[in-house]
Amino acid sequence: GSLILPKIVPELSKLTMFNGAPFNDFRSSMSLPPTHMHSFSETKVQRMKSPISASLWRQYNKDHMTRTYPSGSRVDSSNYKPLVPWAMGCQLVALNFQSDDCAMSLNDGRFHENGGCGYVRKPISILQTGDEHATKNEILLKIRVLSGCCLPKPHGEKAGEVIDPYVIVRVHDVLEAAGSDSITSSLRKDFLETSERKTKPIRDNGFCPQWKSEVFCFPIHSPDIAMVEFV
């Protein structure tokens, strides 16, 4: 009969730090050796929205690795928002780096922390689970846009009309706080919430526009995970 070769040569597997493992459920996965890692596409990430799944996933990620990656249907190399996998404690959140989009801005912002070394410690709310979990502290973030300086023309254009700049302030937040089992969390359709406010445009002034805008107020559900984006 014909010889069927294994997909991974055993000798090579022994040299690999993390081995991919099929996923059935997190309770079973927690009994696997820490060197066994799950890889989930964003499609599977979206299916794990219940508080129970979120809590078990975080517990699994305390001792094991999870890699998430964009769906294969993203033929335009677009991205999913990385906040939800981060909020679940995933250590490897892969993105399409060739796309200069919101997801890449959030990724750059997150990993500018810790001196830009490429590693960021997980928030305490993710490291703690169950009875250890700290009390959820929602806050109210207030932002006032004052002014700008030497703003470029859109799309890097060197010439053209003088711009009429405005500023968009976005807050990307995770509604289901780490470890939360509240009734309101179980009724959420999605973890991710994006709130947006925009200043008025300043006519013909990209050099030193001044807005001194009204105060924009954003309720923050997960302060150690939420991120602010200025556009």
Q: Which residues does 126 contact at the CB level (< 8 Å), separation at least 6?
A: 58, 61, 87, 88, 89, 178, 224, 225
Percentage of the chain modeled with pLDDT above 70: 87
Q: Average pLDDT, stretch 106-133?
A: 81
Could you tell me which of 22, 45, 17 has the C-alpha nearest to residue 32? 22
Q: Average pLDDT, stretch 183-191?
A: 46
Mean pLDDT, rounded, of the chain = 86
What is the rounded CA–CA span in Å between residue 231 and residue 218?
16
Q: How many degrees, rounded to 5, is the angle at CA 13 between CA 32 and CA 67?
A: 55
pLDDT > 90? residue 179: no
Assess contact for 101 and 70: CB atoms under 8 A: no
